[in-house]
Chains A and B, each alone.
Chain A
Amino acid sequence: MIKAKNIIHHYGQDIALDGVSLYINRGEFVSLVGESGSGKSTLLSILSTLLKPSGGEVVIDGKKIDEISNIDRFRKEYIGFVFQFHYLIPYLSIYENVQLASISKNKDEIFLLLERLGIADIANKSADAISGGQRQRASIARAVINRPKILFADEPTGNLDMKNSQKVFEMLREFGNEGMTIVTATHDKELAKISDRVISLKDGQIE
């Protein structure tokens, strides 16, 4: 599903990634772990089309990223994003936030998903009016509403307590079981155990 070949990335003089190659299978749940500054976020940004690497090549589903002509459409159809911060649009309700991302705009479909994530009852509230765990679940709903082939999550539990973090990873696990490819970056080696495979980074290289 995702093939990365000899990825190098530097920010100015700083080398963040130093020759990373990996292959992630369809439907696989992979966690990138490593110390702060090891390059997890940088790698995730590159694999998810957000960042252009200084060197190397990423191929998603047989398509070279730099050769994709309409990256917007590609993201819409292929990729879901979850970040450490929820980035829900504050003036829209939870339902509207998910609807904004939805291609079909199908109300039943949106509510089914919200129900599944346990946030249907707060669908009409705004992001300011709900708990951190609920926000992150809402942002997961927004990320998966179009059934993307790949879900990228950078520190999705970074702002959550133990219990909520556990829940989020379990949800990711479920989506993975349904065939979605999941790539997360996390500090938490315990949580990472839920995934199929843990890739450990150190100083920009795979350990």
Chain B
Amino acid sequence: MLYHALKALRANFTRTVLIFLSLSVSITAVFLITAIAHGIVDSYSTILKSDGDLIITQAKISDTFFSNVDTALIPKIKKIKGVQSVEAMIVGASPVEALPIVAVYGLSKGKMKSYKIVAGEYPKDGEVMLGKTIASRVQKRYISIGDKEYRVSGVYESDTGFESGGVILTLKDAGELFNKKSSMLFVNVAKNSDIDKIIQKIKSLSKSIDVKTTDSFVKNYNQFKIITTSADAISLIALLMGLISIASIMSVTILERKYEFGILRTLGFSRMAITLRILVETLIIWIVGFFTALGVSVGILWILKKAPQLQGYIDGVITLPLALEVAVASLLMTILGALIPAIKASGIDPVELINRGSRA
């Protein structure tokens, strides 16, 4: 059956190629959109998770970009029992030299220490530390951020594209640039302390803040949900498009090959057997299409990651679970797309083979 399927695929070369293309294009689309979306979410959550057990943001804010938390709270929080340290961070984005948009981080001293220096030293007020990716693009001793000049103090390295493609200022400088005290505070608590109690105590300090454990913050962060939901929706559309193309190409072929299936019926092949023959043909294309899409996607992601224009912000990785998920989803798409034409083919009435003579 496999041998016949391969021969049939070769004989119907054009439609084989068409199905292969629609399959691999839609699978590639799913891989890319999902990997990139997860890449964005993962990078940003790594930044958030890397430090601190609790995150304090402005209450009822949809995006950390808009969050403003008063740093005057820091000494008060430090006094709470079980709190070990409190660090502040500003996240923003601004033009840097000729680059239209670059992530800018303002960090308190303690937070700064978690970034690995590869050259120079940590920035003081009036100075900036460049992420490795940015440093390779802007080789200057002084750079402009927004409308101000800063002296370059050093270069740091990070695994996440968001960070190595960004720049770091002191909390004070970033505060002036973005006109806020801090975007969020990170609180480290002692082991075995009562987290819920600490959260309650911090909350009681101000009505305009929201306190969450880092994990629950990342889980409930609205932007992440928007990104992943959009990615899922686009993936679904891509899969549906694939399904529709497979179904329509298959329908045409089945019409073209209707006598082939009719003769199988006269030879005693069951409807099931004929349906299966067609499914096997499509599944062969799926296997080739899936791995092609996987390869192409890995290639495109690699190029995107390396593309200097993107500053490494797009850092999508195709993990094994993702590959498996897409494999299952696209397999389902292929089977569904082929099933209806296949069932139709198996239902071709062999009486059609009788020549209608003069009626034709």
Contacts and interface: CB of A to CB of B under 8 A. Distances in A.
B263 A41 contact: no
B200 to A, nearest CB: 73
- The prevalent SS among residues of B at the interface is helix
Given A91-B8, A91-B10, A155 B355 contact: yes
A154 B267 contact: no
A81 to B, nearest CB: 4
Chain A interface size, as a band, is 20 to 34
B74 to A, nearest CB: 76
A89 B268 contact: no
Given A87-B262, A91-B8, A37 B355 contact: no
A146 B356 CA distance: 27
A158 B270 contact: no
A83 B355 contact: yes
A76 B357 contact: no
B267 A100 contact: yes
A51 B262 contact: no
B4 interface: yes
Nearest to A99: B4
A37 B358 CA distance: 8
A51 B351 contact: yes
A76 B268 contact: yes
Contacts of A72: 265, 268-270
A166 interface: no
Given A87-B262, A91-B7, A91-B10, A50 B270 contact: no
B267 A89 contact: no
A195 interface: no
Contact of A92 (B7, B266, B353): B7
Contact of B4 (A50, A92, A142): A92
A155 B358 CA distance: 12
B219 to A, nearest CB: 54
A202 interface: no
B260 interface: yes
A50 B354 contact: yes
26 contacts: A36-B358, A37-B357, A37-B358, A44-B354, A45-B351, A50-B349, A50-B351, A72-B269, A72-B270, A73-B268, A75-B268, A77-B268, A81-B263, A83-B355, A84-B355, A85-B353, A87-B260, A87-B353, A89-B263, A91-B7, A91-B11, A91-B12, A100-B264, A100-B267, A154-B355, A155-B355
Interface of A: 36-37, 41, 44-45, 50-51, 72-77, 79, 81, 83-85, 87, 89-92, 96, 100-101, 142, 154-155, 158
Interchain residue pairs A-B with the least CB separation, the first 8? A76-B268, A91-B11, A84-B355, A75-B268, A81-B266, A87-B263, A50-B351, A36-B358
Given A72-B268, A79-B266, A101-B267, 5 more contacts: A41-B357, A44-B354, A81-B350, A87-B262, A92-B4
